[in-house]
Amino acid sequence: MSRSIITKTILLICSIYAVLFLTTCAAIAPPSGGPDDVTPPKFISSSPESGSTQFKGGKVKLLFSEYLEEKSVSGSIIVSPVTNPAVEVKYEDDEVHLIFPTNLLKDQTYIVSINRNLKDERKVALEQTIQIAFSTGDLIEEGNISGRIFGDEKYVAHLWKINESFNDSILLSRPLYVSEADDNGFFSFNFLSKGNYSIIAVERSASGLPLVPSRMLYGTSPKKTYFLESNGTVKSIPLMTKRETQPLKLSFVEWKGARWGWIHFNQALTSAVFENATLTDSYSKILKPKIFPDIENKAKFLLMLDDTLSEGKVELKIDVIKSKSFVNESANINFRYSLKPDTLNLLLEDPSPVSTINMDNNFGPRVPFIFSRPITSTDDYAFQLIADSDTVDLNVDWINPISFSFIPNNGWQEKTNYRINIFGNKLTPIEGKSFKDSITYVDISSQKKIGYGALMGTLDEFPESMLIELKQTSDEAKSFFSNVNSNNEFYIKNLPEGKYQLIMIEDLDKNNVFTYGTIQPFKRSEWFYVHPDTFEVRANWDIDVGQISMEGN
C-alpha cells in the first residue's frame, strides 16, 4: 500500500471520529440562543406508585421531566416519619432513587415531601411542594390539612402530630411534616392519619429545622391544635409571621461633630423618654445631652451637647428608657471620638430641589425639610413661601433641630406652583458654615387633590369582637380600621382613592390591631380572614361590597 493511500486512510478515520465526537457533544449540550428556559421541572411518576400499600421498603424511583441540579437533590427531600437508618438519596439524571430500610413501622403511612429546593440544571426551582406516600399496611391515609401563609417572604409550614397532651416545647423540635408554601402562600399536607395536629409558619430558610424564636421569622395558628378525622380535611388555616420583639439594645453611636451625633437602637421607640442620659469623655467630664427623635426613623435619635467632648473614649449611659413598648429599660455603650473641625457648608438633604405633592382632605400634607446638621438658632424671616409671585404665610414646626415641616397657613391650593426660599444668613448651624449660596430654594408643585371615598359592607356571620382592616395595596400601604355594628355592618370613610385589601380580624384582646402569637409561652394568634378580592375606592363614592362570607373560622 502506497504512503499516500495510508495517509488518506488515516485522515478519513480521524475525520469520522471527529464527526462522531462532535455529534455526541451536540446531542447532550443544551441548545444555545433563544429565550432562557424558565419552565420548572415537573414530577412525572414514582415506582412503586404513590398510594401503594404493603410497602416493604427498598428502592423507590422518582421520575422528573428533565435533568436535575445534583447538589439540590439531597436537601429537597424529606421523609416522614423519620426512618432508622435514614432513607438514602441517590441521583441519576432525571431520576431520584430513594433507598428505604426494610425495618419500617407496621401499618404506617410514609410521606415523601419534595420541596422547592429542588432545581433543574438551569437552576429553575420546582413550582410547588410534591407529596407522595406509601403504606406498610393495607390502607393509606387520606387526611389533608391546608391553609395559607400571608406575608412578603417565602415560607414553609411545620406540622406535628400531638399524640399526648400539648406541650409548647414540641414546636421547638424538628417538625414531623414540612410543606413549602407556593408563591401565593398556599400549603397543603396530604396522607395524614386521624389525630390532633399543631402547625406554625416559618421562613423558608428554616425549613425542617428546630425553631429558634429569637432568630427566625415565625407565626402561630389561631388554634393550639386541629383535630383531623380519619380521611378528613382541615382547610383554610390562616397564618401570618413576624419576628419576636428583641430585648431593647443601643446598637451603635454615630458621632458626627464636636457637639452632636446620632444613637441607633435595634428597634423603633414610640413616644420615648430618656431619663438621666450622660456622656462621660476621656477626661471624666460628664455632659448631659439633649435627645430628639428622628423625623423618619423611630429607632434613631439626635443627641446635642452645649459643650464639646474631649478626644478619645466616650461612654454613653441612659439610666431609664420609657416608651409605649418598654418601661424602665436602660442602655450603655462606649465609642471613640476624634476631634475633626467641621468646615463644610450646611446642606439641605431633603426634599429635592423640585418636588410635587397631592393635597389631602386637611389641605396638607406638611412637607418635611432635613438639614445636614442641627440648627441652633433662626428667626422668623429665615423662610419665605411664594405662590404665583405672592408671598404666602406659612406655619413651620421644628420636629428636632435638624428637621422641620411646614404648610401654608391657609393650606395648599390645588394645581399651584410654590417656591420656598431659605436664607442662609438667618440660620446658625451647630458648627461649620451655613449654605454656600445666600438663598437655597425648593420648588413645590401642588398637584390634583387626593380623592376620598368610603367603603361599606355586611358580614354573613362573625364573632362578637370582629375588627375590619382595609389595607392599601400601594407601595406606601396604610391601614384603616372599623368595628362591626349590631346589624353586622361596617362603614369606613375618608379613604384615599385606590385599591384595598379587606381583612377581618377576631380582635380578642380588643386592641384594634391584629395580635400575633408566641411560641414560649404558647399563645395562639388571632383568627383572621383575607378577602380574595381587592376593592377599589373612588373619590366621592360610597362603595358597598355587599354581604361577605368568611371561611375557616
Give 501's strand partners.
Answer: 471, 534
pLDDT of 32: 52
Q: Cα–chain-centroid distance for residue 290?
A: 34
Q: What are phi and psi of 28, to 5 degrees?
A: -105, -10
Taking the CA atoms of 15, 18, 20 and 23 in sequence, report the sign of the dihedral they define.
negative
pLDDT in tens, 181-209: 988 999 999 999 899 999 999 999 998 88
- Concatenating the DSSP letter of every residue in 266-314 gives SS--SS-EEEEEEEE-TT--EE--EEEE-SS-TTEEEEE-SS-PPSEEE
Count of beta carbons in the 10 Å neighbourhood of residue 417: 12
Which DSSP helix (H) or strand (E) runs through 21? helix 3-28
Q: 413: exposed, middle or buried (C-beta count within 10 Å: 0-12, 13-18, 19+)?
A: middle
d(CA 461, CA 549): 7
Q: What are phi and psi of 495, to 5 degrees?
A: -95, 125
Which is it for strands 452-459 and 542-548: parallel, antiparallel or unpaired? parallel
Q: Are 55 and 135 in contact (CB under 8 A)?
A: yes
pLDDT of 29: 43
pLDDT of 27: 41
pLDDT in tens, 34-62: 567 788 999 999 999 999 999 999 999 99
pLDDT of 548: 86
**pTM of the predicted structure, to 2 decimals:** 0.77
Give 158's strand partners.
Answer: 178, 200
d(CA 194, CA 259): 68
Which is it for strands 439-447 and 354-358: parallel, antiparallel or unpaired? parallel
Beta-carbon contacts of residue 461 (< 8 Å; ≥ 6 apart): 488, 550
End-to-end CA distance of the chain: 93
pLDDT of 487: 87
- Shortest CA distance to 66 belongs to which of 45, 95, 103? 95
d(CA 300, CA 295): 9
Give 446's strand partners.
Answer: 357, 416
Q: 412: exposed, middle or buried (C-beta count within 10 Å: 0-12, 13-18, 19+)?
A: buried
Q: Are 64 and 114 in contact (CB under 8 A)?
A: no
pLDDT of 61: 94
- Shortest CA distance to 240 belongs to which of 127, 152, 158, 169? 152
pLDDT of 486: 85
> In the structure grid, which three cell numbers stand for residue 244, read together?
419576636
d(CA 478, CA 473): 8
Taking the CA atoms of 485, 488, 491 and 492 in sequence, report the sign of the dihedral they define.
positive
SS3 (DSSP) at 454 = strand
- Shortest CA distance to 498 belongs to which of 547, 543, 468? 543
CA of 364: how far to CAs of 253, 386, 393, 441, 551, in Å?
A: 35, 17, 14, 20, 40
d(CA 484, CA 469): 11
- Shortest CA distance to 234 belongs to which of 222, 244, 246? 222
Q: Are 384 and 421 in contact (CB under 8 A)?
A: yes
Reduced 3-state DSSP string for 197-208: EEEEEEEHHHCC
pLDDT of 163: 87
Q: Is the peptide bond before 353 cis (omega within 30 degrees of 0)?
A: no
pLDDT of 387: 93
Q: Which domains does the chain have, with CATH numbers?
A: 43-240 (2.60.40.1220), 250-337 (2.60.40.1220), 348-447 (2.60.40.3710), 452-548 (2.60.40.10)
**What tens-digit pLDDT sequence spans the chain (553 residues)?**
444 544 455 545 555 555 444 444 444 444 555 567 788 999 999 999 999 999 999 999 999 999 999 898 988 888 888 888 989 999 888 899 999 999 998 888 899 989 888 899 888 988 888 899 999 999 888 999 999 999 989 999 999 999 888 888 999 998 988 888 988 999 999 999 899 999 999 999 998 889 999 889 999 999 999 999 999 999 999 999 999 888 889 999 999 988 999 999 999 998 899 999 999 999 999 999 999 999 989 999 999 999 998 889 999 999 999 988 777 788 999 999 887 777 889 999 999 999 999 988 888 899 999 999 999 999 888 999 999 889 999 999 999 999 999 999 999 998 999 999 999 999 999 988 999 999 999 999 999 889 999 999 998 877 778 999 999 998 777 899 999 988 889 999 999 999 999 999 999 999 999 999 999 899 999 999 999 999 999 999 999 999 987 664 4
Q: Are 278 and 229 in contact (CB under 8 A)?
A: no
